[in-house]
A and B are shown apart, each in its own frame.
Chain A
Amino acid sequence: MLRPKFNRIFTYTVLSIWTLIVLFPLWTLIINSFKPQNEIFASPFGFPKDFTLDGYIEVWNAGHFGRYFANSLIVTILSLGLILFIGSMAAYALAKWKSPISNFLYIFFIAGLMIPIRLGTIDLMRLIIALNLQNTIWSLIPVYVAMGMPIATFVLTAFIKELPNEMFDAAKVDGASEWQVYSKVVLPLMRPALATVAIFNMIKIWNDFWFPLVFIRQESARTVALGVSLLFGQYHTDWTRALAVLSLAAIPLLILYILLAREFIKGLTAGAIKG
């Protein structure tokens, strides 16, 4: 009788300590972004006495944050849409086409899981310049789509392989073409697996800093990550503004995550079990 009680105390103690470690920086970030500089230094942990929105107003005006958000949104949504669409098409063929070619291609695709695309950056940069896409958000999308292919084909092919064969046979007997089977039968069934792929890629693409850093100099084509790095460099001695920059980048994602946390973790866990 003593043991379960001890376990419970241990569980709560460990998790509560970690909770403090997670929340402390986030609390410090958000609470101090509403304080003037001298109060940040005088009392870093309390609620703001001298509440101010100066940091946010200035940063929003100086930094074209609206533009950065729009760019990141366009890049993330278009890349995700393409990854899910062409990835699921490929996965359907990889799962249902029995031939040495498809076996080879499957291995070729998932080999990319282990090899980071960044190692090819020098050539990608030359390719993007040759295509005259540098300094535009369009330079990012094809790279992100390619980067998403290994995980998409890996998770989706495994998922389609586990669907019962009768389902496909029934549709074929009714005279459906492969395209119809894919779009009318497979796609709707695949929704949970598509969600897993989307979550994995969304975090990666939205937060990617490397490719915007390499491809984009122009103000108008900056994503949130790149904009944050440049603005932070500019304001690093003005803490109210520096913290406002970081909060502006972090808060939308925090809210989105808290709203969708359940589906988020479920989707990730489903993907992990499949893997």
Chain B
Amino acid sequence: MSQANLSKNQKPELLNVENRRKLTWVLFLLPALLVYLVFMAGPLFDSLRLSLYTGKGYSPTEFVGLQNYIDLFTVPLWREKFFNAIINTCIFFAIHMTIQNSLGLLFANLLASDFKGRNFFRTLIFTPTTLSVLVVGFLWTLILNPNWGAVNQILTGVGLKQFALPWLGRENLALPVIALTSVWQWIGMPTVMFLAGLTGISEELIEAASIDGASEWEIFWKIKFPLIQPVIGIIAILTFVDNFNAFDVIYAMAGAKGEPAYSADLLATLFYRTGIAGEHPTGIPNMGMGATIATITFLILMSGVLVWLYFSRRNADEK
């Protein structure tokens, strides 16, 4: 009888302890969750909703269903700008993916070995990454300026006068040149990440292979490359997300309209002009359409991330 009494008295208290533990954890999570919900997740999801509305100014109130999407894909004025921006964004991304990441891998591979001056080079390669994108963009605009032409003076000096071009003034040149500027700045990121992956590979493995007579080239492709595949995946997806969202460097070097003649217009600059600043000359933002462009960018990013998750899962399962 006394035992029954005891357990009766204990039970509510036990629950209490359990609840209090839960409450403690919730309190630990609450500040982060609140800020994240209110200032990130909420606005992102509300953008999806907003893309179904239209109206000028700061509160689009008229519900139009999918009309914004239909307009974006069928009205020639919108469609032209939108597909131009998508294609340009893909080119911008592709230049980073190929040139930035393969150069980064090359640099990381060189920097992973031990030699005099290694720390200097490591520091140096990452230096531009710490600068503001805007500052880098403006700086290169001055350097590439055909009137001054620091670059063009050098080209003329070494006898390549025919290559002294108005780099940012030609429709077929501006976008690749801006992308290369961005590569110049960001190459430190993949380099550092590849370096972390490469230094994680055991020395013995490489030594054993080199005793067996494998060349440096073979060691790289047959041992190192397969081992850093997860890092390659992460770098690929980060490059994708960052560049499908690039804005600052275009704004600095080609303006909000991606000049000349929209040849450097990306999804982010189109989004900025449509939904935030408003197109010249009216300057009134079309927030519903802006949210539509944001939503489509969001869907493109999500599908990229899902593809990456699928392949990285499959690779992990195979191992």
Q: Bound complex: CA of A112 vs CA of B112, how far in Å?
A: 32
Task: Give the interface residue-count category, chain A.
Answer: 35 or more
User: Would you list which residues of chain B between 187 and 233 have a CB under 8 Å from chain A?
Assistant: 192-193, 195-197, 199-200, 215-216, 231
- State how many angstroms separate the Cβ of A56 from the closest Cβ of chain B: 16
Asked if B132 and A146 sit within 8 Å, CB to CB, the answer is: no
User: Would you list which residues of chain A between 105 and 148 have a CB under 8 Å from chain B?
Assistant: 105, 108-109, 112, 114-127, 129, 142-143, 145-147
Q: A119-B297, A178-B28, A207-B131 are in contact. Are A142 and B39 (CB under 8 A)?
A: yes
Residues of chain A at the chain B interface (Cβ within 8 Å): 3, 7-8, 10-12, 14-15, 18-19, 21-23, 25-26, 28-29, 40-41, 44-45, 82, 86-87, 89-90, 92-94, 96-97, 99, 102, 105, 108-109, 112, 114-127, 129, 142-143, 145-147, 149, 152-153, 177-179, 182, 203, 206-207, 209-210, 214, 224-225, 228-229, 232, 239, 242-243, 246, 249-250, 253-254, 256-258, 261-262, 264-265, 268-270, 272-273, 275
- Which secondary structure dominates chain B's binding surface? helix
Residues of A contacting B175 with CB < 8 Å?
none
Asked if A182 and B142 sit within 8 Å, CB to CB, the answer is: no
**Could you say which of A92, A145, A243 has the most chain B C-beta atoms within 10 Å of its C-beta?**
A145
B84 at the interface (CB under 8 A from A): no
Q: A86-B32, A90-B29 are in contact. Are A228 and B125 (CB under 8 A)?
A: no
Of B4-12, B44-52, B67-75, B162-170, which stretch is located at the interface? B44-52
Residues of A contacting B39 with CB < 8 Å?
117, 124, 127, 142-143, 145-146
B252 at the interface (CB under 8 A from A): yes
Q: Bound complex: CA of A143 vs CA of B38, how far in Å?
A: 9
**Could you say which of B25, B40, B121 has the most chain A C-beta atoms within 10 Å of its C-beta?**
B40
Which one of B28, B43, B138, B285 contacts A120 once the chains associate, using CB atoms below 8 Å? B43
Q: A40-B148, A117-B40, A122-B50 are in contact. Are A272 and B192 (CB under 8 A)?
A: yes
Asked if A203 and B129 sit within 8 Å, CB to CB, the answer is: yes
Q: Bound complex: CA of A112 vs CA of B33, how far in Å?
A: 12
- State how many angstroms separate the Cβ of B275 from the closest Cβ of chain A: 5
For this complex, 24 residue pairs linking A to B, each with C-beta atoms less than 8 Å apart, are: A11-B113, A15-B121, A22-B125, A28-B150, A44-B150, A45-B150, A86-B35, A90-B29, A90-B31, A97-B25, A120-B42, A121-B275, A122-B290, A123-B42, A123-B46, A126-B58, A126-B59, A209-B134, A239-B142, A249-B135, A257-B126, A268-B192, A268-B196, A273-B200
